[in-house]
Chain A
Amino acid sequence: MALNTPAGGFFASRLDRMIGWARKYSIFQYPFVTACCGMEYMATACSHYDVDRFGAGMPRFSPRQADVLFVVGTISHKLAPTLKMIYDQMCEPKWVVAFGVCTCTGGFYDNYATVMGIDTIIPVDVYIPGCPPRPETVLDGLMKLQEKIQMGGGGQGSGNWAADN
């Protein structure tokens, strides 16, 4: 959008903020749950910790309807192509959250079977470390994600979305 005209620039920034605000409270997540971190993912999603407070209570089990990909648990080389395919199927703008240290860096599984961090395969926006992260940490990560969404544009991987705008 044209930023050099004062009025237009003003309007664009307000609109962006408006869109960001709307988006950050309607996180449709795709939980790609594989392993132990899923236990804490469940705990976070249920009534004790209640992610619904952050507008993220609605998992969509189709990548085409989701805009945040939660990668929860170890990714093995056998599973890696599936993860990549799911990521590719998501519509832009899209964000990726690496949940647990296995997805951040590989964690303590440094062996022939595991991927050393999903960022070697797909771009990641928020890293939530911990093995598994406590629900409080997850909520913190979720708030970081919201900030990032509020700031506008797509996630790391959303190609030229921000530039096109």
Chain B
Amino acid sequence: MSVTLRKLKENFGGALFDLGSAFGDDFAVVHKDRIVEVSQALRDDPDLRYNFLIDVTAVDYPQRRPRFEVVYHFFSLPLRHRVRLKAPVDGSDPEVPSLVPLWKGADWFEREVWDMFGIRFAGHPDLRRILMYDGFEGHPLRKDYPVNRRQPRVGPRN
């Protein structure tokens, strides 16, 4: 077991649903309310030093309860390791705490997740659509959004 997983297990045992390593990637499934705390520990712990927030995204599992999974990828340049955190979020009123206070880069990534999946980030300074336009209804990357339902602003509608 890698340092990251051991540390996470020691310090946040109660906040984790699952942790392990699959296909060569370390991952941990974290309770969504503790995500800020855990990420901060990843960043500030001298044994972990995850200084890059590489990516924030989400996956939609309509059959599962809870429905969404917000996925974070971290990378540590000094120690050269990577970890993936996943936070399950309920489908009816999806909301996760924002990581913007820790990493400025989280800003746009979280806006994109809001735009594509409709997951809100509590404490985000400016949660607007980023890729789609105002007036677009729905969140296109959800599995129940049909791939070719267009909402044109000029020209014919389909």
Query: Which residues of A are in contact with B by a Cβ distance under 8 Å?
Result: 77-78, 80-81, 84, 110-113, 115-116, 120-121
Q: Is B153's CB within 8 Å of the partner chain A?
A: yes
Q: Which of B83-132 contact A (CB under 8 A)?
A: 131-132
Given A77-B133, A78-B132, A78-B133, CB of A112 within 8 Å of CB of B155: no
CB atoms of A77 and B150 under 8 A apart: yes
Given the complex, which residues of B lie within 8 Å of A81, measured CB to CB? 153-154
- Minimum distance in angstroms from A73 CB to a CB of chain B: 17
CB atoms of B155 and A115 under 8 A apart: yes
Given A77-B152, A121-B155, 4 more A-B residue pairs with CB atoms under 8 Å apart are A77-B150, A77-B153, A80-B153, A116-B158
- Minimum distance in angstroms from B150 CB to a CB of chain A: 6
Separation of A86 and B147 alpha carbons in the complex (Å): 29
Separation of A111 and B158 alpha carbons in the complex (Å): 11
Q: Is B156's CB within 8 Å of the partner chain A?
A: yes
Given the complex, which residues of B lie within 8 Å of A116, measured CB to CB? 158
Q: Is B149's CB within 8 Å of the partner chain A?
A: yes
Q: Name which residue of chain A comes closest to B138, CB basis.
A: A112
Q: Is B21's CB within 8 Å of the partner chain A?
A: no
CB atoms of B148 and A111 under 8 A apart: yes
Interface of B is mostly: loop
The number of chain B residues with a CB under 8 A from chain A is 17
Between-chain CB contacts (< 8 Å), 22 pairs: A77-B152, A77-B153, A78-B131, A78-B153, A80-B153, A80-B155, A81-B153, A81-B154, A84-B154, A110-B147, A110-B148, A111-B148, A112-B140, A112-B146, A112-B148, A112-B149, A112-B150, A113-B132, A113-B140, A116-B158, A120-B156, A121-B154
The 4 residue pairs across chains A and B that have the minimum distance between CB atoms = A121-B155, A120-B155, A78-B133, A80-B154
CB atoms of B151 and A112 under 8 A apart: yes
Separation of A115 and B131 alpha carbons in the complex (Å): 15
Separation of A121 and B131 alpha carbons in the complex (Å): 21
Separation of A81 and B151 alpha carbons in the complex (Å): 13
- Minimum distance in angstroms from B105 CB to a CB of chain A: 23
Given the complex, which residues of B lie within 8 Å of A78, measured CB to CB? 131-133, 153
- Minimum distance in angstroms from B156 CB to a CB of chain A: 6
Query: A-facing mask of B49-90, CB < 8 A → 1, else 0?
Result: 000000000000000000000000000000000000000000
Q: Name which residue of chain A comes closest to B147, CB basis.
A: A111
Q: Name which residue of chain A comes closest to B141, CB basis.
A: A112
Q: Is B145's CB within 8 Å of the partner chain A?
A: yes
